[in-house]
Structure 1
Amino acid sequence: MNLPSLPPTPARTDVADPAAFQPIGFQLSDEHKLELLEHWRSIKKRKWPILSLAGVAAVVAAAVSLAMTPIYQATAMVQIESGPGKLVSIQDIYSAGAQVKEHYQTQVEILKSREVAERTVRALKLWEHPEYDPRVKGAGLLDGLKEALGMGTEPAKDEADLAAAATKRLMENVSIEPVRLSQLAKVNVESADPALAARLANALAENYILNDREARFKVSQQASGFLQDRLGDLRTALSKSEQALQDYRQSKGIVSLDGSAQTLAGQQVGGTNAQLVEARSRRLQLESAYQQVQAAPKGDFSGVPWVAREAGVALAQGRVNEVLQRQAQLSETQGAKSPLLLQVQAELESAKATLRSQQAAAADALTREYQAARATEQSLERALGAARSGVAEVNKEEFQLAVLEREVQSNRELYNMFVSRAKETDIAGEVQAAIARVVDTAVAPSKPVRPKKLQLVAVALVLSLLLASLVSVLLDKLDNTLKGGDDAELRLRLPMLTVLPSLQAHDHAAMAQLFIHEPNSAHAEAIRTARTGVLLSNIDQPHKSLLVTSTIPGEGKTTVSINLALAHAQTRRTLLIDADMRRPQVARRLDLAPGLKGLSNLVAGDATLQECLHTVADTTLLVMPVGDLPPNPLELLLSERFKAVLAQLTEQFEIVVIDSPPVELVSEALVLAPLATSTILVAKAMSTPTPMVRKSITRLQRAGAKMLGVVLNQLDMSKAGSYHSQYQADYGYNYAGAGYAAKDAAVDPGRS
């Protein structure tokens, strides 16, 4: 049929918009299970190398353990006292204020010290033993390597060097192990000689105790010398202070030290002060009466109470009052001229004169008494001042005396204390309690502590198994290719249409027609499975166009296209189109004559449909090869005429299988995918990296392709559990102008 005037067909509107990559609903737990299964398969497939490596490691470990010198460990048990041992209390000399825990930890560290180790070495002359003699060169591999590299130790020159070298080696072989919740410590010594190990453990414990005793004795001697030096100075100071006290007593005439002088002076001041108060009170009383006497007019002292209270004045006043009474009585009975009355008047005048005389005498006596009281007060004031001055002087002397006495007392107490401490130190230096004691002496061990041969072999075996298993898993983790149907479905999130076995013994032409030549083979059965998957997709659609592509060349997409088309041709009217216009392979694989008209000729209008369709021998399959190779295949596929031709071919055939170029090298597959009903991606098992396949699927889906599923090709069934394939980065293709050509002549040009 000629299609010279084939109208352009509008673009298909039933093609879905490009959709994002969607998973098909696998659960994460299933993926984890599959990963664990993959790990197990990875280990299982290399079980013999892993077991061989483990066996070799165990044998090497056994040989090494047998070659190693057995090391014995002897243990001596030491009990450490809770505090520094002492016979008498001299805490100021031995710092006994530390807590028990700190003291215990301190003693454990002393047990580890170099001083104790060196003391043991010198006591036993340990450098004479071959194990500790630095002049004996080691026979080990490490020692030989150090000697070869010039890193060996310098030979010992004298006994000090020998002792230092032996001490260093002994400290490396000694370990102190505190016993939890007790005051015990284990002294562990390792040696190739069991008897020597026990001897060293006991010697270390004994030398630790002796070293402590000597150290404390040395401290005691130093303290005793210090105390003796200080005693001489204190004795001199005490003598000087006592002499100064005695000189002061003599200079001041002090006889007693009980403070009697100060007491007498105080009593004297107190008595004088009391007399002064009394004299002052008396003077004040007399001073008031004296002022009244001085104020009396013309010697009339009748108005002065003090004068009136005088005995003579009171007696004279009584005589005057008696005479006045008699005068009054006589005046009533006698006349004014009566001699009795005149006599009474004369007596009255005499009594008044006596009264006045007594009053004047009393006033004179008051004046004299006042002056005497005043003089007494002044005298007492002077005496009190003198007494006070005496008391101050006594106080000064007593204070100075007290200072001298305190200095003497202080010097005497300090001297007595140092004498007592010196005696205690001398006694403590002669008798010292032990800081520790050996509870359990070490005995020669009968079994070595290392090497632990069985443990060493078991550890080597387990570690080698683990290491080899990890390496196996790591190798498979680094291998990101597709290793089987389940793995491909899980990683690509697309249905697996079929898995085709590897056919190493067939050439490309035989593989292309294997479905015809070997219909009962596993390969043919797998093709039938893929055919069933295609037929079940879009089951209500009578006409289907199927695009078959791959990620990169060499994955077998052409072989799959041909075999799938041959399978469909048995039940459907099927057309196989070779759309790979850069490296066409369909005609060659099907043994068609070269130079046949094909797709490019039909689209360009240079040939009719009948001229472009060719039948495969012994089949009903119609094939449309590429035809003449166009210079611009992409433009040809993008033309509206190609879309119209493809749409018309799809209407005339029930199944149209299109073999397209790879996705990652050229873009023709992305142009063809939206025009096809379904797209099948062919991936080579254990070869193509999974990320690259995922990228191809994503590009196809974004271009509008309806992904039907994946065909996993060339899976080595005999090694399905052993993934040894490696990805080859160079597939023999490169870009050259508008097409991709063979990069190496050695690469088979018939493989696509």
Structure 2
Amino acid sequence: MNMQATPGAVIQAASPAPPPFLSLKDALSDEQRLELVEYWRSITKRKWVILLLGIAVAIAAGAVAFSLPAVFRSTATVLIEPDKNKVVKIDEVYGGIGTGREYFQTQVEIIKSRDVALKTIEGLKLWEVPEFDPRKDKDDWKAKLKQAIGLTEPEVEWTDEKLARETLGKFNEALDVAPVRLSNLVKVSFESQDPALAARVVSTVAEIYVNNDRESRFKLTQQANQWLQDRVVALRQKLDASERALQAYREGQGLVNLGGSAQAIDSQQIANITQQLVQARVRRAENEGVYKEVLAIRNAKRDDYSSVAAVMRHPAVVEAKKQEAIAQQKVSELSQRYGFEHPRMVAATAELNAASQSVATQADAVATSLMRDYEISRATERQLEGELANSRGSVVAVNRKEAQLGVLERAAQADRQLYELFIGRAKETSASNDLQTQVARVVDPPVLGGKVRPKEMQIIAVAFALGLFGGVLLSLLLDKLDNTLKGQEDAESRLKQPLLTSLPILKGSDRKQVMRLAADRPDSMFAEGIRTARTSVMLSSIDSPKKIILVTSSVPGEGKTVVSTNLALAHATTRRTLLIDADMRRPAVARGLALPPGLKGLSDLTSGDATLDDCIHVLEDSHLHVISSGATPPNPTELLLSQRFKDTLRTLQERYDIILIDSPPVELVSDALVLAPLVTGTIYVVKAMDTPYQLARKGLVRLQRSHGTLLGVVLNYVDFKKAQKYYGQYSAYGQYGYGGYGYKLK
């Protein structure tokens, strides 16, 4: 071993860094984390606050609900019969009223129309009712505010017509017209603070709608009757003029009977030629493709027509190919028995050549025939086109006369049909009664309505539920925003480091003797937690019998000095232990352990002002040796970086089994980062429910980057009762109750 190496290098070589720690929570899948249980714990933690919030919201909502005026609803049912027979059947003439769902929906909109609403308001003079009086709005807080800032409005001259228009908005808000599904019924409802007024409004709306419908039908019938009479006279005159024009054209053109035999013969001839032309074009199209293929082969001066399907399908070519195949087979059979010079072989070869020549001859002949067929079909097509053009020219004049005659005949026929239709409707209307049957009626008259709002108990119940829901959401939000560490699982999950132990929060007299609590109160939960940390330290780097342990934290006030002193006292019971106070800026070890003031310490030893024996002090009533911080130096970090400090640390390591160093917090100064590479391992102290886990994680990362070895985390100031009750954190201290073993849970 190289004796010039630093103590940290020696320790690190003897004790390799442990593998990366995987917390229990990280080893579980997302489904196993039971987030619903965490939500339930968050709710139960603040259950009384949530309940009080729900009660407060319910009380406020109840006060508002009971202060609101009661509103009553009255409803009437109106039957609309769109399919009922009408006395005057003139729908086809003037457009009709219509039937079906479109008609039904139209009637519903008519009931909600502005005309029906204004007639109802004027009939009942609703502006005299306080809740609908538009003049009250002119005295509300908005008007007073405008008046206060000088935006006064001119005085309004109220008339019945203006009052009705201003009341229309509130009236429409209170009126509800709803069709009943799969029926011809309509529910007409009205809401008012006066139940009798609500019934009167509904009854008036239904009555006005029925009367309006009856009057509109009567007026429509009268207008249609007058219009029919006027139209009949005009249509009669137009019919006479059309018939006279038709007769004059026939006489002038000599077309007494245009449907004679001459027109029939011409039409039949054109039809025959047209049919023949179609057939000729089909034949020409069929032959044109073959013609182009054959012509291309001949232009290329080739004799192979195997690519022309029409040639190869011809019976003569097929037969020649068959003979060629037979000759080919014969040659193949003889070639296996005789040589090429054998007479039978020579004869078979000659037959094969003759057959092949026959195939080529037949293919050429067929190709020539197909080209001739194309030329014939093309000439025939041209001839038929000429004949068709000549035939069409002969009947052009007749067709023109026929077209004009058809126009006149259709005009006369249309005028005659329209005249007969109108004369029939006019006679029907004149002979009918002027009254129309009723198509709408009230089948369920309104009664004094029941109260619809406010529903005080329902409002209170909903408000209570909303208050509870809001409290639950607020509780979950507070827990989501809480970035402190609450227990063992939380610390391991967020810091990604093993938890060495959890130390309870101290109360009463324990806080005064906290520096020596592990020695003075060995039966306490705190002492048990320290012993657990001691065991974890002893099991870490087990190959290194002599260990140097650094204790630090993120910020002051997390209890790192308390952990250092108590852990040193716990080790001192079984091993040679030295506690070094390396926090030379804010030393607390000497004062906490009640050492005499003015003792020589680490700063004096490192600067060379004192010997090692002068700086080591034995704690009274224990086997613990202590090196205090000594006098406050101007440059503590430089002292820790000096070679003298490293040599001193190496010398101390040879004399003691365990050396515990209490260093300043990581976030304030870099002393801990300087010490971390020189020690066996580092213990990081975190204050539960106080230190943000991001801050602690940042300190751990800085220690790792400085090549320090992390042994784990000590979670300090843990309220075990609260953690077990609200966060589900179980420990041997709280779960099994140390009271049965002589320990008592504070």
What is the deviation of 1:65?
A: 2.2
Match of 1:706 in 2: 709
1:407-464 CA distance string (max 9 Å, x none): 887656544433333344556782323333322222223x312222221111011110
Answering whether residue 524 of structure 2 is matched by residue 524 of structure 1, we say no
- What residue is the counterpart of 2:373 in the other structure? none
CA distance in 2, matches of 1:406, 1:597: 133
CA distance in 1, matches of 2:597, 2:112: 95
- Which residue of structure 1 aligns with residue 175 of structure 2? 174
Shift of 1:640: 4.5
**Matching of residues 109-508 of structure 1 within 5 Å:** 109-136=109-136, 144=141, 148=145, 157-234=158-235, 237=238, 414-425=418-429, 430-445=434-449, 447-503=450-506, 505=508
Match for residue 661 of structure 1 among 627, 643, 664:
664
Q: Which piece of structure 1 moves more, 682-691 or 214-223?
A: 214-223
Match of 2:333 in 1: none
SS of the residue aligned with 2:63?
Answer: helix
1:599 paired to 2:607: no
Shift of 1:20: 6.2
Query: What aligned pairs does 1:621-700 form with structure 2 within 5 A after superposition?
Result: 621-700=624-703
1:42–1:722 CA contact under 8 A, matched in 2: no
Structure 1 Cα separation of the partners of residues 223 and 418 of structure 2? 20
Q: Distance in 2 between matches of 1:178 and 1:407?
A: 48
Contact 1:547 1:673 in 2 (8 A): yes
Cα distance change on mapping 1:48 and 1:715 into 2, 3 Å: same
Distance, in Å, in 1 between the alignment partners of 2:218 and 2:494 is 83
Q: Secondary structure at the match of 1:110?
A: helix
Residue 162 of structure 1 aligns with an amino acid whose one-letter code is L
User: Could you tell me how far 1:576 is from its partner in structure 2?
Assistant: 0.4
Q: Deviations over 1:322-380 (max 9, x none)?
A: xxxxxxxxxxxxxxxxxxxxxxxxxxxxxxxxxxxxxxxxxxxxxxxxxxxxxxxxxxx
Partner amino acid for 1:484?
Answer: G
Match in the other structure for 2:272 = none
SS of the residue 1:135 aligns to: helix
Letter in 2 for 1:172: E
1:196-230: CA deviation from partner (whole Å, max 9, x where unpaired): 22222232223222222333333334433433443
Q: Which amino acid aligns with 2:706?
A: A
Displacement of 1:705 after TM fit? 3.1
SS of the residue 1:662 aligns to = coil
Aligned length: 576
SS of match in other structure, 1:448: strand
Cα shift at 1:561: 0.8
Distance across 2 between alignment mates of 1:399 and 1:555 = 111
What CA distance in whole angstroms lies between the structure 2 residues aligned with 1:220 and 1:175? 32
SS in 2 for 1:79: strand
In structure 2, distance between residues paired with 1:403 and 1:167? 58
In structure 1, give the amino acid aligned to 2:116: V
* Cα separation, partners in 2 of 1:31 and 1:649, compared to 1, 3 Å: farther
Q: Which residue is 1:715 aligned to?
A: 718
Report the Cα distance in structure 2 between the residues aligned to 1:663 and 1:429, rounded to whole angstroms: 107
Query: Match of 2:736?
Result: none
Amino acid at match of 1:697: L
Q: Is the 8 A contact 1:21 1:698 kept in 2?
A: no
Change (3 A) 1:425 1:504: farther
Distance 1:436 1:499, change over 3 A: same
* Residues 585, 636 of structure 2: 8 Å contact kept: yes
Cα distance in structure 1, aligned partners of 2:141 and 2:57 = 24
Q: Are the aligned partners of 1:18 and 1:701 in contact in 2 as well (CA < 8 Å)?
A: no
Aligned twin of 1:102: 102
Matched with 2:264 is: none
SS at match of 1:580: coil
Q: Is the 8 A contact 2:565 2:579 kept in 1?
A: yes
Q: Could you list the per-position Cα deviations for residues 111-132 of structure 1 after superposition, in whole angstroms to 9, with x for gaps in the alignment? A: 3222222232233333333333
SS for the counterpart of 2:135 is: coil
Query: Amino acid of the residue matched to residue 213 of structure 1?
Result: R
Deviation sequence 1:574-628 (CA, Å, 0-9, x none): 1001122333222232233444333344344443221121122222211112234
Per-residue CA deviations over 1:126-183 (Å, capped at 9, x if unaligned) read 33333333235699xxx55665466999867111112123332221111222222222
Whether contact under 8 Å (1:62, 1:456) holds in the other structure is yes
Q: Tell me, what secondary structure is at the counterpart of 2:453?
A: coil
Cα 1:59–1:665 shift into 2, 3 Å: same
Where does residue 55 of structure 2 map in the other structure?
Answer: 55
Query: Which runs of no fewer than 5 residues in structure 2 stay unpaired?
Result: 261-400, 728-746
Q: Distance in 2 between matches of 1:703 and 1:192?
A: 79
Higher mean Cα deviation, 118-127 or 224-233?
224-233
Contact 1:156-1:162 at 8 Å conserved across structures: no
Q: 1:229 to 1:584 in 2, by over 3 A?
A: same
Q: Is the 8 A contact 2:555 2:665 kept in 1?
A: yes
Contact 2:584 2:633 in 1 (8 A): yes
Q: Distance in 2 between matches of 1:175 and 1:698?
A: 69
Question: Shift in Å at residue 557 of structure 1?
Answer: 0.8
For residues 215 and 236 of structure 1, do their structure 2 counterparts lie closer, same or farther at Cα, with a shift above 3 Å needed? same
SS at match of 1:449: strand
Distance 1:539 1:642 in 2: 26
Q: Distance in 1 between matches of 2:404 and 2:672?
A: 124
Contact 1:110 1:116 in 2 (8 A): yes
Letter in 2 for 1:212: D
Q: Tell me if structure 2 keeps the 8 A contact 1:598–1:628.
A: yes
Are the structure 2 counterparts of residues 712 and 429 from structure 1 closer, same or farther at C-alpha, using a change threshold of 3 Å? Answer: farther
2:143, 2:529 → 1: CA distance? 66
Task: Return the alpha-carbon distance in structure 2 between the equivalents of residues 491 and 503 of structure 1.
Answer: 25
**Matched residue type, 2:630:** G
**Distance in structure 2 (CA, Å) of the matches to 1:616 and 1:673:** 26
Whole-angstrom CA distance in 2 between matches of 1:721 and 1:422? 96
Q: Within 1, Cα distance between the matches of 2:677 and 2:404? A: 126
Q: 1:574 aligns with which of 572, 577, 591?
A: 577
Structure 1 residue 42 corresponds to structure 2 residue 42: yes
| C-alpha contact 2:15 2:541 (8 A) present in aligned 1 | no
Sequence identity percentage? 52
CA distance 1:596–1:406, change in 2 (3 Å): closer
CA gap of 1:561–1:17, structure 2 versus 1, over 3 A, is: closer
Where does residue 76 of structure 1 map in the other structure? 76
User: C-alpha distance in 2, partners of 1:191/1:66?
Assistant: 17
**1: CA distance, partners of 2:53 / 2:221:** 67
**How far off its partner does 1:548 sit?**
0.7
CA distance in 2: counterparts of 1:548 and 1:403, whole angstroms: 114
Letter of the 1:699 partner, please give it: R
In 1, are the aligned partners of 2:97 and 2:103 still within 8 Å (CA)? Answer: no
- Matches of 1:665 and 1:425, distance apart in 2: 106
Preserved CA contact (<8 Å) 2:554 2:666: yes
Letter in 2 for 1:175: D
SS at match of 1:116: helix
CA deviations over 1:238-288 (Å, ceiling 9, x no partner): 677789999x89xx9x9xxxx9x969xx9xxxxxxxxxxxxxxxxxxxxxx
Q: Is contact 1:262–1:398 with CA below 8 Å preserved after alignment? A: no
